Amino acid sequence: MNDTQALSKEQTVAQQPGNVVSNMDGEIVMLSIENGKYYNLGEIGGAIWEKIEQPMSISSLIDGLMEEYEVDAFECEQQVMSFLDQLAKENLVAITDAK
């Protein structure tokens, strides 16, 4: 995925391999071996990270989060898309087009 391409709910997202992940008091922290950086994904970010261990559509991810948390659909979609965009820019997730 290039930096100018917008994410779409029809795309599939999955974790990139090669990250060391740990749960620190309910928040997920991660070390990217490739980037040499630490990331604090927080509680919700950690929940998203766990859900994308296996590839799934972004729309399914959003639907699952809306079932799990009391959140407005528009707000959920905006926050998830922004979070995934940041992860993609850091090469922490793989985003692919649906087949």
> What is the structure's pLDDT at 99?
63
At 39-95, the pLDDT tens digits run 999 989 999 999 999 999 999 999 999 999 999 999 999 999 999 999 999 999 999
Q: Inform me whether the pLDDT recorded for 4 exceeds 60.
A: no
Q: Inform me whether the pLDDT recorded for 5 exceeds 70.
A: no
Q: At what angle do helices 42-51 and 73-89 cross, to 10 degrees?
A: 80
Residue 42: count other Cβ atoms within 10 Å of its Cβ: 15
Whether 90 contacts 37, CB under 8 Å? yes
Which residues have CB under 8 Å from 97's CB, separation 6+? Answer: 10, 11, 12
What does DSSP say about strands 12-15 and 19-24: parallel, antiparallel, or unpaired? unpaired
Does the reported pTM lie above 0.75? yes
Closest CA to 63 of 54, 75, 52, 76: 76
Q: How confident is the model at residue 32 (pLDDT cuts 50, 70, 90)?
A: very high
Residue 83 exposed, middle or buried by CB count within 10 Å (0-12, 13-18, 19+): middle
> What is the structure's pLDDT at 47?
93
